[in-house]
Amino acid sequence: MDKKIIDLNRSVYDLCNEYKELTDILYDLGFVDIVKPGMLNTVGRFMTIKRGAIMKKISLEVIKEALNQSGYVVND
């Protein structure tokens, strides 16, 4: 099985298009705007998980841990 690698410097748009289930994981972590119509296709094209974590005041360590538990390898 191929590793699911998350590069925290890639856009949320690219990552969510590569890994469809990532949208739900990020939503559960507090990125609630990700499911608003058009947000992923507009803001998501330049927003990274790192930048989003800062904006939403979500610990990057919490995000990394959740992604690891969901079977992702996180590169930052």
The model's confidence at residue 1, banded by pLDDT at 50, 70 and 90, is: low
% of the chain residues with pLDDT over 90? 95
Q: Residue 55 belongs to a domain with what CATH number?
A: 1.10.3910.10
Q: Is the pTM of this model over 0.95?
A: no
Q: What range defines the domain where residue 64 resides?
A: 4-75
Number of structural domains the chain divides into: 1
Report CA torsion sign: 12, 14, 15, 18.
positive
Q: Residue 25 above 80 pLDDT?
A: yes
Express each pLDDT in 42-64 by its tens digit: 999 999 999 999 999 999 999 99
Helix (H) or strand (E) holding 25: helix 22-29
CA angle 40, 59, 33 (to 5 degrees): 25
